[in-house]
Structure 1
Amino acid sequence: MGDNATTTKALGYVRVSTNEQASSGLGLGAQRTTITERCSARGWDLVDVVADEGLSASTLRRPGLTTALDRMAAGEADVLVVAKLDRLSRSLRDFIDLRDRAAAGGWGLVILDVALDMSTPSGQLTSNVLASVGEFERALISARTRDALAEARKRGVRLGRPPEIPDHVAARIRGRRAAGDSLRRIAADLTADDIPTARGGAVWSPSSVQTVLKSER
């Protein structure tokens, strides 16, 4: 980190998946504006903003993020600034990995929507709590969903394809299958693009793809 005699240099990182729109508040432009304004308010020199477009946060293997991390490791900036935590990672393991990279490299990780600055001791502590709570919340949501589905089955409710799957998603699945793609490949691509399943889940399986195909017959 820069000392009191120098201006802190910041590198921004922004991301959207294919199904996210600028109007949702998650768009690249909105993220860039937030990062620019906050860096200016802190007197930081924003050297650049690196973007990943149309990519999920399910993995750290993203071209833009890889570039940003390489530039941080090369000492181009003192802090990596992200507008929203879920733009960076949705995985506890990946979040901890990024935090450890920052600590080992001597640079700070700043996440604006949760007022988290991991270049400080209090920020390091908060990051542990935040990541754990986020993982716990997702586990609770998953458990509640499974329980609700099990209860519905007991009542004899038929759990077919609900109307939440947009026509363009069903058409995409049919088109990919007609082109010869495997169910596993189609499922992996839908998951990577952050497209919810018929039941609102985040991860597609070959069987869930097959269910959509059967419902279209």
Structure 2
Amino acid sequence: MEPDSPDLLAPVGRGGALIGYARVSTKGQKLDRQIAALEAASCQRIFSDKKSGKNAEREELWNALDYIREGDTLVVPSLDRLGRSIQDLISIVAGLRKRGIGFRSLHESLDTTTPGGRLVFHVFAALAEFIRELIVQGTHEGLAAARARGERLGRPPAMTEEQIRHARSMLADPDASVTSIAKLLGVSRTTIYKYVPELRAGHRPSVGGQHSGLERA
């Protein structure tokens, strides 16, 4: 149950204006049918976007959400016209409910201004959270199993042990620059400094184990 509502099934959005929202995802698609359906549903004002549901900017949707007021109801031709995903859809509808605004989807006959419609959407939200928790749990179990098998997790190192040995050997030559060695090994200067830490202190490896001054500028 939502903390801001004492009754999970309490309807919201009754008695206000019906505000429509339509969207097409490609240039070739037309809004005519969606707008006609929204007009038939008695929407007093209709906002429309001609952008993909994956486009986070959906300007007219945000304009509709800014325009709509408590007691009103947002109407869409179908659920996939509103959200990019089930989580996105639930987030938008939950935000509407907190503002006292209803939601209707014509194709699915879903109406949160009724107790039954509100219950269906609550089930959707619970299912989405359950799936998210399963994914997180599965990820954690997979990582634990990989660690138990001794597998290395995360990104592979930028330099192998063999490359580090080659770098140290070449750096023992005072005429060799860090830049040239980095290019030869196919890594950046920063990587060389990371894997040969004595360079940061101004020293270079030497064959005899002693250190000499850092490369020329």
TM-score bracket for this pair, using the shorter chain length: 0.3 to 0.5
Quick check: which one's helix share is greater?
1
The two structures have a TM-score, normalised by structure 1, of: 0.48
